[in-house]
Amino acid sequence: MTALHADPATLPALAAGLLDDLRARRPRVHCLMNTVVQKFVADGLTALGAVPSMTSAAEEVAAFVHKADALVVNLGTLDAGRRQAIGVALDAAAREGRRWSLDPAHCDYSPSRAGFARALLAREPAVLRVNRDEHELLAAPARIATVTTGSVDRITWNGTALRVENGHPLMAQVTGTGCLSGALIAAFLAIEGNAFTAAAAAAAVLGVAGEIAARSATGPGSFQPALLDALANLSPADLIAHARISNEQD
Amino acid sequence: MTALHADPATLPALAAGLLDDLRARRPRVHCLMNTVVQKFVADGLTALGAVPSMTSAAEEVAAFVHKADALVVNLGTLDAGRRQAIGVALDAAAREGRRWSLDPAHCDYSPSRAGFARALLAREPAVLRVNRDEHELLAAPARIATVTTGSVDRITWNGTALRVENGHPLMAQVTGTGCLSGALIAAFLAIEGNAFTAAAAAAAVLGVAGEIAARSATGPGSFQPALLDALANLSPADLIAHARISNEQD
Amino acid sequence: MTALHADPATLPALAAGLLDDLRARRPRVHCLMNTVVQKFVADGLTALGAVPSMTSAAEEVAAFVHKADALVVNLGTLDAGRRQAIGVALDAAAREGRRWSLDPAHCDYSPSRAGFARALLAREPAVLRVNRDEHELLAAPARIATVTTGSVDRITWNGTALRVENGHPLMAQVTGTGCLSGALIAAFLAIEGNAFTAAAAAAAVLGVAGEIAARSATGPGSFQPALLDALANLSPADLIAHARISNEQD
């Protein structure tokens, strides 16, 4: 697998193959998701070809994890109920061998949320997704793939670093594109054993879809339905043609 | 009323009349609704011509039920607070003589949710709305009208069964169209005493609106605003022209 | 400042200047917001040029208020957790000198919510936003600017009353435009010391954006992305050309 990471030129084709695979297998992704963007994330996962579920109720989340192929744990709107449900969900995920991505949304705003995020990192998510401010606060060990999103996405793992130079400034004007990124990573984790590859595929898919959506958008409002359309209509050939993935040192 | 059900040819015109009536009367529908789709359902009810309200707080839900003409009880994202609020709301509904529809969303995922759904069925909703997986788990007595949604909607009541063959595959790619269906049923329950007729009208309205919306949509993103537009702009004549309702044995 | 209020002819240009200022300063607005419209309000604030945050968790809300420049407190879907979080947030706001707008959404439906709204009024929001039904129930002292939204918005403060005659009937068919209004008021409170002027600017901005959005909308569904686009693309010149602000006695 190391060879793959050393040759990012192969990643667009690899991502295109994973996209085909994901649509054929329709993985279930359970989302411990902030209340703000639940529908947007569910629609984004469905547009990609995955099957979302969304409860954060402690009394039923283990049953949903049992049905799921992967999880995303997002720390937005983190109240006591969701904290408890996340604990129950991760216990179930450990028991059932489900992998998960962690999105410590806005943990730089709240020491209590940052502390919880650190405790979750110790439970070994397959991928950590952060923005730059969150990354300054929260560093994962090298064995956990880390996606730092921004105008360029950076993906690091075991001493390797990739850059994914896709996306569009309108994405930053829509609440939830970062949260959706964490969920798409979980969808790819459900079908691809290598977390680094899964994260790169998710970043390229969302970034290329964003570029396509921006062509028809006239602002951040019209961009949102266009983004869901682009995710649903994205072809493996689009991905190969437009994904810009390179080694950081290039 | 049995004659009506025996002659589904009259149902499109009946539904068109109910649509006119609903827009004239603007019934209030209180929604015990999962957090994922609250805005989508509220916007759908408003587009139809109803007036939604949405709180699931136990301390205030009885006052909202008092103001409402009908209720929808949806079991998505079912935490302890919403379970308690549903109990309070149904006590108030019983006191005030408000009818309600039950949507046991994803009860097939969670035994705890399925158990709660069974307990609610014993409180006699006017209509049960399920998908096929949920229907296998949860059967209502014949006196409760049951809508089983899918590529064809099936409506059963007291030994009669109708098929509503409207809708579009894009509806299944949007989180919340099923939940919206349960809410539209409640809106029609507010103005039509026969639950079977109310359920058929709701299924035809949503299905025909979905077909109209699909004409201008380029994917599941653009389909959503188009669906709300279609619900708001749907004319009784559209409904009569496009509703496809038949007896199951036809 | 009184002179300003006596001459509403100057307000469109003043609002245009505030819009420029807001986009340059990008104030952070923390929202204690009902679960129904969190994403719509966050997207609306971002489209305007502000930076939203949204948690209602008591254990972390003070840290978010500390980072924020202003707050909006909305009483929709008001459960015990949000009541507690609002108390904590307003304690933090008092400590940190942050101003806030109050939106007692649907307090006319629930005596318990109305009582809570009255207690919050005593904590001196800078602006109260209500619809007509809520206004009948809840009167603020004259020193608190009050915006009563409707087909014409009315803004009162210390014996002065303005009318803002912008907007479009489609706004009433979208769940959350009132809630967004309260949030935009908070965004302007973050950059303008005079609450009356801030409220007038917010009302004019949302009303003019609504008029622009309605030009391309074909119903309440397509109106929503169009409204976000219009907020993002609104120019100070648009505002000067289209804002209709007058003294009530004119």
- pLDDT, mean of residues A219-237: 98
Question: Which residue in B46, B63, B229 is closest to C218 by CB distance?
Answer: B229
Q: What is the pLDDT of residue A2?
A: 43
Question: Which residue in B77, B78, B221 is closest to A224 by CB distance?
Answer: B221
Q: What is the pLDDT of residue B1?
A: 40
pTM: 0.97
Beta bridge partners of C129: C147
Chains in touch with B (3+ beta-carbon pairs under 8 Å) read: A, C
Q: What is the pLDDT of residue B8?
A: 84
Question: In terms of C-beta density within 10 A (0-12 exposed, 13-18 middle, 19 or more buried), how is residue C165 classed?
Answer: middle
The ipTM value here is 0.96
Report in angstroms the alpha-carbon separations of A72 from A37, A45, A68, C131: 13, 11, 11, 39
Per-residue DSSP letter, B37: S
Report in angstroms the alpha-carbon separations of A230 from A234, A238, C45: 6, 10, 25
Q: What is the pLDDT of residue C5?
A: 52
Torsion of CA A193, A198, A199, A205, to 10 degrees: -170
pLDDT per residue rounded down to tens, chain B (250 residues) = 444 455 788 999 999 999 999 999 999 999 999 999 999 999 999 999 999 999 999 999 999 999 999 999 999 999 999 999 999 999 999 999 999 999 999 999 999 999 999 999 999 999 999 999 999 899 899 999 999 999 999 999 999 999 999 999 999 999 999 999 999 999 999 999 999 999 999 999 999 999 999 999 999 999 999 999 999 999 999 999 999 999 987 5
Beta-carbon count within 10 A of A96 CB: 14
A3 has pLDDT over 60: no
Chain B residues closer than 8 Å to A230 by CB = 219, 221
C30 has pLDDT over 50: yes
Question: Are B113 and A67 within 8 A, CB to CB?
Answer: no
Q: What is the pLDDT of residue B7?
A: 77
A39 has pLDDT over 80: yes
Question: In terms of C-beta density within 10 A (0-12 exposed, 13-18 middle, 19 or more buried), how is residue B11 classed?
Answer: buried
Q: What are A76-132's pLDDT values in tens digits?
A: 999 999 999 999 999 999 999 999 999 999 999 999 999 999 999 999 999 999 999
A5 has pLDDT over 70: no
C139 has pLDDT over 90: no
Domains of chain A with CATH codes: 9-148+163-247 (3.40.1190.20)
Q: What is the pLDDT of residue C98?
A: 98
Write the single-letter amino acid at A177: T
Shortest distance, CA A178 to any CA of chain C (angstroms): 13
C1 has pLDDT over 70: no
Question: What's the rounded Cα separation, in Å, for the pair B144 and B117?
Answer: 14
Average pLDDT score, chain A: 95
Chain B residues closer than 8 Å to C219 by CB = 47, 225, 228-230, 232-233
Question: Are B109 and A58 within 8 A, CB to CB?
Answer: no
Average pLDDT score, chain C: 95
Shortest distance, CA A35 to any CA of chain B (angstroms): 7
Chain A residues closer than 8 Å to B76 by CB = 54-55
Q: What is the pLDDT of residue B250?
A: 55
Three-state DSSP at B197 gives: helix
Q: What are C192-249's pLDDT values in tens digits?
A: 999 999 999 999 999 999 999 999 999 999 999 999 999 999 999 999 999 999 998 7
